[in-house]
Structure formats: C-alpha cells, structure tokens
Amino acid sequence: MSGSESGPARSEGDLAPCRLVALNPVLGVNCALLVDRLLGLRTTEAFASSTPSAPTAPQYFGHRYTDGAGQSWQELNLQLLSQHPAFLGIGA
C-alpha cells in the first residue's frame, strides 16, 4: 500500500492495544505485523469445527475454524504470506 492508501494516522491511544508480531527469522524476511488486537494463540483442540479455505481464497489462507461460541477464525500460513508478492512489495 502507498501512504495514501493506509488510512488516517493513528493516535497513541489508538495504537495502545496493538501488538507487533515478528515473523520467525527462518522465513527469510525481516519484518513484523502490526496487529490491532491479539486474542492469544490457540490449538486446534480449542475449536468446535474447521473447514478448508475456499478455492478462491488467497494461497496463504489456511483452515477456517469455529469456536464453541460460534466465532469464526481464519488461519494464516505465515510462510506463504511472507513470500507473497503483494506482501513483499508492501513498502514499494
């Protein structure tokens, strides 16, 4: 995204709940993701069901999981995401 596509600047208060999630160095990219909210890591046993990603979904989408409360969660394959051309060109 270019600077004009990133939206309005965030205040310090807006960024307070945000977290940086660094990708493992073994992936070969030196970066971190700015995450608006982090609700914790879960194992597959924490979910009631899962379905494979749709055929039209980005290649880095993994399964879609549903928890006991009916909330839907999208798995991301960070290795595939870190090699995706749009991700690699984010600062261009």
Three-state secondary structure call for residue 74 = strand
d(CA 77, CA 55): 15
H-helix or E-strand spanning residue 83: helix 78-83
pLDDT in tens, 29-81: 888 888 998 887 788 888 999 999 999 999 999 999 999 999 999 999 999 99
Q: Where are the domains of the chain?
A: 11-88
pLDDT of residue 86: 87
pLDDT of residue 54: 93
